[in-house]
Structure 1
């Protein structure tokens, strides 16, 4: 009897050790290599949609306390093998105050002077190239627009009776050649005028692609914004690719609904911006 009990105790201790090893391995991969990320809002529309699942790489900018998943590490200064992002990169970061995960685009690097006038962005005194695009039509679903989103004003109904979003798109090209689409909902938003502000050393200026619906570096922390340029150390990783996207109709206890909820054409989308070598 005592022998069986000893065997049972040994089995349990081995199981616990195995679980701990697996958890440490997952934490290590999430913190040092890559981790999944879920988009919960419309702040990065039109590139990212509520319901997108991404792969975020952890190594392109080196590692800091923000690289550790689940916000387990104490705040410390500095990065191991640190390398600044490029303008146009989409990054995941810990909010400097709340430590909640955010996802935004890098607009300004250390030493840049950032200004917005009537919604038009300038970097170092030069207006960023803007090209108005045709309206972007996207089907409305339970995940889109997200609850409380400002883009719901663009909901219309198509000839087939289905609700659609018809979004006003402006394509921007930053110094260095990164090009991407943004949403510009027109005048009248408090974030349309900002600065000028110079980005301090080891800081980055971040903005959402949904320019009039993003709590980013233009917005005070009391309004869930980033409160200006953020320290480089809060950057956790770079968004690389959409793994899959769901429309919000899935029911957890019905596996068939999981497949029906998948949005077609989203999986495999590369999130690195197009870059022109001729842009300055």
Structure 2
């Protein structure tokens, strides 16, 4: 949907801009010439209102003239600076909840054109711990949001609900060994899934501290893990130019464990801010449609980490 909207926005901006330019640079000079000829001949008395009427754009050009600047500003903001997204699922709980509306910084991972997504300018690369929005590798028309865990050259292991990382070591000297990512239990009664209390852990991922959820009763679905040649089940060696991502809700997230890696060409931007958060808590017998919010979570508005 986001891709379709981007393409539609580009087409509308281009169409209204062309209509406005055609009228401004081709038709308006002709209208000016006609008015000048009438005034020079003196055959018609042109008061200000009559002159404005003769110079006025047609209804289509007039509307395009009014709409084009607005569309152009929205296109620039949305394509190159910040784009709003809505969180549709719980795969990034507890960091992001269903009903959160976030801003994604589009220029964090390079400035790309809004149609073909070719990089126009390099501005930065994802860092471990970033919350990244990207095109789903198996269907680029869908936007996904996950946390960046593995950088190019890293070895990532996920086994028995424990995360291990061995950072890339191009020089081959002084390389760090495979180490477990440290985490500490926060609580086990805040979030539930199908009646099961989820464990909330605080995880230290490089310089980023964030919380994750673990379902102690759900086994790892290792039979569905992405089978990377030359590695064991649950082991992922991140190729150059690609990234390995996980959801913070570890047992309720379809992420890199199941479909592999995110190519840097698929990166959309970095999630940086929650600008609105709606809650949808209602009883099963409520007559209101499910998409109508029941409240606003003002305490969730703010920056992300």
- Pair member with larger Rg: 2
1:94 Cα deviation after fit: 1.1
CA distance in 1, matches of 2:102, 2:88: 12
* Residue aligning to 1:107: 149
TM-score w.r.t. length of structure 2: 0.67
Q: 2:263 aligns with which of 225, 228, 231?
A: 231
Q: 2:208 aligns with which of 173, 178, 188?
A: 178
Q: 1:74 aligns with which of 99, 116, 119?
A: 116
1:101 Cα deviation after fit: 0.8
* Residue aligning to 1:204: 243
* Residue aligning to 1:38: 86
Preserved CA contact (<8 Å) 1:63 1:236: no
Q: 1:248 aligns with which of 280, 299, 305?
A: 280
CA distance in 2, matches of 1:60, 1:4: 48
Preserved CA contact (<8 Å) 2:274 2:300: yes
* Residue aligning to 1:96: 137
Preserved CA contact (<8 Å) 2:110 2:121: yes
Structure 2 residue runs of 5 or longer lacking an equivalent are 1-50, 167-177, 226-232, 283-287
Q: Deviation digits for residues 24-74 of structure 1, max 9, x if unmatched?
A: 220110011101110000000011000001111111222235xx3xxxx23
* Residue aligning to 1:189: 220
TM-score w.r.t. length of structure 1: 0.72
* Residue aligning to 2:200: 169
Q: Secondary structure at the match of 2:78?
A: helix
Preserved CA contact (<8 Å) 2:108 2:124: yes
C-alpha change, 1:214 and 1:108, in structure 2 (3 Å) is: same
CA distance in 1, matches of 2:221, 2:281: 34
Q: Secondary structure at the match of 2:256?
A: coil
Aligned residue pair count: 227
Q: Deviation digits for residues 108-139 of structure 1, max 9, x if unmatched?
A: 0001001111111110121111212212526x
Tell me: higher relative CO, structure 1 or 2? Use CA pairs within 8 A at least 6 residues apart: 1
CA distance in 1, matches of 2:54, 2:269: 46
* Residue aligning to 2:185: 132
* Residue aligning to 1:83: 124
Q: 1:52 aligns with which of 91, 97, 100?
A: 100
* Residue aligning to 2:297: 263
CA distance in 1, matches of 2:250, 2:58: 58
Preserved CA contact (<8 Å) 1:191 1:212: no
Preserved CA contact (<8 Å) 1:120 1:127: yes
Q: Secondary structure at the match of 1:210?
A: coil
C-alpha change, 1:245 and 1:29, in structure 2 (3 Å) is: same
